[in-house]
Structure 1
């Protein structure tokens, strides 16, 4: 039977759950009342689940309300008969206090603790209005609470972008769909006019999953573009020189490295002297200044120096027979050197970099790297002149008419993916950092960078340009309007510095104990119990916690429409295997393999098209 105190509460408040039994720090133990034995409660026509890990409770304190999250539920093995008569059901909840509302304004943290016997209540939609505020501007609805599906789950857009975030979950947990829903909710928005027209989101899509998901609100750049996509071009001359040389030459150091860097520097100076790029002073140019120069001219000048032979009494007369052609990567020819004192003689000043130059030439001839080494209008002529400058590149990536830009890197050879990601991030960060006083900079118009499959290039042991740049964004990006969203199925492999700087976590189902331990390390001890449910979360269900969520919450992410979902679903094995066998042409498989393009064909079919005339109209 309920106690007299419970009877009084029940007569006035159907949200009553139980009473405070003990308080220890931020942990509160609650005895559940007999009135909630069913596990369900209907309040104002809405159904609420009681005793769900991750659900919210409210503890009134006069003009102040304390809010907490259920972290554990249980019951006594054999309730005491006397206690049962007194109203103790033997069922209890463990609650972690997370914030308080004073005068209708919610704040994280608590200034006072409840007393033994204080009543505990369900958090209703009205209460959540006090937490999140009645004004939805700046709030994004991402789904519904698992404990009360009629209540929307909202996050704060400001905190999400400026404090960074992470979406973590095992394969098949709904990670890609969650990301698609999050970004679509932001781009389609819940602002005063229903959208955020100046939102700026850049996604690095490693597997090519998101072009279909954002086709109507995104500009897609791809190495192998469809008719409705743009060609992805990344000018090599905007990359870090050290990273570029590692890729082009296999790595050089000492005097050999100086041979390359000195020549690159002189070519960049000559390019500036020809074009007069605004904002550049010749005295301030370095080898890393993003100025165009021709790799073909670099190769030609260096190979010419390496293979030159001389004759004459002073060994200073070149024996060139054919000048070659830098544009076609044809090396000049010289009389072969001869033994003895008659000559021709080798160039004693040669750097010994012929092997590296041969690799550079092979890279330039490899069609797989055209997006980088032959970047369309950004490819310099031999004198360093270009048709398009970096402003056109940035306008396409972060200044387009659509709120989302997807860089589809699925067609990029794996050998260069890590360097490429690092270079893209550095181009973006450097441009926004140095333009922080301008309206196009990150402070006036912030940017969210979404990093798919982050464990591939942000592992601690890699120590590459991508990791270095993302660490910088994680530590300093907030000051310059650059936010990051890290997406990974293996959080234990992501660099700890990067993950620890993420202020908001969307944690989906995680089965691996090492991954769960990494996520648990980001939470206060009292809330660790929330993550014990990670292995049993449903697909598309997440625990959201951190700066963007005023309260940690377990929620079901809203699924996008079928046509707006990423191409990450599993193959339909049964349906595919149940079809009758059909003729197959594996010559097409080999053609795609060799061309490194999924849509390559083995035989080109020329179809002649003729206009159709309606004979009845002619008559």
Structure 2
């Protein structure tokens, strides 16, 4: 396509509005009688020949390449082309009126999260059905507005951005790695946190709902195999059988119980029974009488004491059947004593006693996560040690996905009430380098979740580090500013070859500006995200360096720094303040 000499300036004014001609990403219209074809400018250029030497006096030397994307008949826009233009057909600027035909609403099921960059009067919309069931990704470098975009999209999904509650039965579970969204979405979310603030609930993940191999790898400090693994799994299986016998869980038949069945068992009992077997010494003529000095205490993790073994014929003698797992049991004991892992190994009312009896079962856990009054549930994982983050995220996703998979025929399942799982900082636990529990579970959600009503939204600043299978299954992309070539190439691979040039603008996008493309969007569009109110923005803004450094220096106490470091809690204090509150009565009460 070439530009006419009459618009060589590259600027045209129509109905009082100025339009740039030949901008990459802009739309053009090709009239075909009652039908209009629409295309996207994918490439522009100019000939090097001076105009005075051109063969045609109307030749400007400027040209552009257009990719046809859809057509409009009777005011209704559809993707795809039923006929092609002829040589010599003229192209027209696509005005706001025509853009409204392209991006106008199809009725219900549309989510508005911003406005088109080229026409701010036209709302930017995506289809909610495709956004959830076909998965999505929000990708952008640090400082590009990724967190604000996420908050805006989630508020739009719930309908609160427009002052109403369009989807009161929405169900969204968000994994917040840095604690950015608790305040931003507090009006529409229930919040569970490892280190809860006032108004938040404590986050617990029952260890006994995890698969045995993942749990044992964490508890014993690495992979165990052979007889050592069998010693642990046989004991866990026996404890789960005993727990079911004590509590008679509905829907469970003893013959169907395996070591991975989510039934409660006591880790303290597991540790005590195994360590007792490992350290036992025997005496007597037949070497069959335990030489026990003290029973120890499973509840307080005190091991039993036996007479030390001695050389010679009189003993005491070592247990010849010991497996050799003392080191693993010592690591297990240290994990149980480490307060940083209380949310997992001592999960409140979900922690079994020594007999495997729990005060609360998994139904109350799932009701809190998936059945809250608010449409969004935020699991604040900012207080989780980095070494256990992958296991924790994988465990949460495994619990949620398995519960919705097996309840697919029930009204609480994902078919009747779909779930959107939002995963912040996904590159930290969905790496392409290894198949962790989190990565394997999300791959399963990406491939099969659509059938069971579970959708995924992946958020990352390094898309090149996210598992390729997961990212390739995302049907809709929100691409913000991306400077790294590897990250850009991963996003560009999602578009047809003819439209790849549309993403050349990624390095120069403004903060809060995004290119949306994929199944939930009619066509790729560049738009500005509507900013939530100040009190509803994530805590992800940059520090005000100039302001903070310009302030007068104040006394500092680094003992508080060390206290938080050791406690692994940002709000830990050196000297706890105990405030005793008493009711105040009015002495004049009852007097005239």
TM-score normalised by the chain length of structure 2: 0.95
Q: Does 1:332 align with 2:298?
A: no
Q: Give the equivalent residue in structure 1 for 2:219.
A: 248
Q: Find 2:147's aligned residue among 157, 176, 180.
A: 176
Q: Does 1:139 align with 2:110?
A: yes
Q: Give the equivalent residue in structure 1 for 2:424.
A: 452
Following the alignment from structure 1 to structure 2, what is the Cα–Cα distance between the partners of residues 447 and 118? 48
Following the alignment from structure 2 to structure 1, what is the Cα–Cα distance between the partners of residues 105 and 562? 60
Q: Deviation digits for residues 71-124 of structure 1, max 9, x if unmatched?
A: 223344456359798544444332221222344443322232111222323334
**8 A contact 1:46–1:150 mirrored in 2:** no
Give the Å deviation of 1:180. 0.8
**8 A contact 2:152–2:161 mirrored in 1:** no
Give the Å deviation of 1:522. 1.7
Following the alignment from structure 1 to structure 2, what is the Cα–Cα distance between the partners of residues 49 and 140? 28
Following the alignment from structure 1 to structure 2, what is the Cα–Cα distance between the partners of residues 226 and 192? 28
Following the alignment from structure 1 to structure 2, what is the Cα–Cα distance between the partners of residues 564 and 36? 46
Give RMSD over aligned pairs: 2.2
Give the Å deviation of 1:181. 0.8
Q: Give the equivalent residue in structure 1 for 2:93.
A: 122
Q: Which runs of 5+ in 1 are unaligned?
A: 1-28
Q: Does 1:268 align with 2:236?
A: no
In structure 2, the CA distance between the partners of 1:84 and 1:228, relative to structure 1 (3 Å rule), is: farther
Q: Give the equivalent residue in structure 2 for 1:225.
A: 196
Q: Does 1:57 align with 2:9?
A: no
5 Å-filtered alignment, 1:83-162, equals 87-132=58-103, 134-162=105-133
In structure 2, the CA distance between the partners of 1:41 and 1:157, relative to structure 1 (3 Å rule), is: farther
**8 A contact 1:74–1:92 mirrored in 2:** yes
Q: Find 1:286's aligned residue among 221, 242, 258.
A: 258
Following the alignment from structure 2 to structure 1, what is the Cα–Cα distance between the partners of residues 66 and 126? 22
SS in structure 2 at match of 1:196: coil
In structure 2, the CA distance between the partners of 1:613 and 1:433, relative to structure 1 (3 Å rule), is: closer
Q: Does 1:499 align with 2:471?
A: yes
Q: Does 1:568 align with 2:512?
A: no
SS in structure 2 at match of 1:410: coil
Following the alignment from structure 2 to structure 1, what is the Cα–Cα distance between the partners of residues 25 and 168? 34
Following the alignment from structure 1 to structure 2, what is the Cα–Cα distance between the partners of residues 440 and 144? 35
SS in structure 1 at match of 2:573: coil
Following the alignment from structure 2 to structure 1, what is the Cα–Cα distance between the partners of residues 2 and 522? 22
Following the alignment from structure 2 to structure 1, what is the Cα–Cα distance between the partners of residues 516 and 2? 24
Q: Give the equivalent residue in structure 2 for 1:520.
A: 492
Q: Give the equivalent residue in structure 1 for 2:370.
A: 398
**8 A contact 1:137–1:192 mirrored in 2:** no
SS in structure 1 at match of 2:551: coil
Give the Å deviation of 1:315. 1.6
Aligned residues: 590
Q: Find 1:343's aligned residue among 287, 293, 315.
A: 315
Give the Å deviation of 1:49. 4.5
Following the alignment from structure 2 to structure 1, what is the Cα–Cα distance between the partners of residues 584 and 13? 69
TM-score normalised by the chain length of structure 1: 0.91
**8 A contact 2:418–2:454 mirrored in 1:** yes
In structure 2, the CA distance between the partners of 1:76 and 1:38, relative to structure 1 (3 Å rule), is: same
Give the Å deviation of 1:550. 0.7
Following the alignment from structure 2 to structure 1, what is the Cα–Cα distance between the partners of residues 116 and 53? 37
User: Which deviates more from structure 2 when the two are superposed, residues 67-76 or residues 579-588?
Assistant: 67-76
In structure 2, the CA distance between the partners of 1:384 and 1:609, relative to structure 1 (3 Å rule), is: closer
**8 A contact 2:10–2:22 mirrored in 1:** no
Following the alignment from structure 1 to structure 2, what is the Cα–Cα distance between the partners of residues 541 and 191? 20
In structure 2, the CA distance between the partners of 1:158 and 1:109, relative to structure 1 (3 Å rule), is: same
Q: Give the equivalent residue in structure 1 for 2:509.
A: 537
Q: Deviation digits for residues 114-163 of structure 1, max 9, x if unmatched?
A: 11222323334443454345444111111111111111111111111111
Following the alignment from structure 1 to structure 2, what is the Cα–Cα distance between the partners of residues 38 and 172? 33
**8 A contact 2:513–2:527 mirrored in 1:** yes
User: Which deviates more from structure 2 when the two are superposed, residues 420-429 or residues 33-42?
Assistant: 33-42
Following the alignment from structure 2 to structure 1, what is the Cα–Cα distance between the partners of residues 66 and 374? 44
**8 A contact 1:32–1:92 mirrored in 2:** no
**8 A contact 1:32–1:93 mirrored in 2:** no
Q: Find 1:196's aligned residue among 167, 173, 198.
A: 167
Following the alignment from structure 1 to structure 2, what is the Cα–Cα distance between the partners of residues 254 and 96? 60
Q: Give the equivalent residue in structure 1 for 2:460.
A: 488
**8 A contact 2:243–2:355 mirrored in 1:** yes
Give the Å deviation of 1:604. 1.6
Q: Deviation digits for residues 187-243 of structure 1, max 9, x if unmatched?
A: 125899751111111111111111111010111111000111111100000111111
SS in structure 2 at match of 1:297: helix
**8 A contact 2:176–2:424 mirrored in 1:** yes
User: Which deviates more from structure 2 when the two are superposed, residues 70-79 or residues 378-387?
Assistant: 70-79
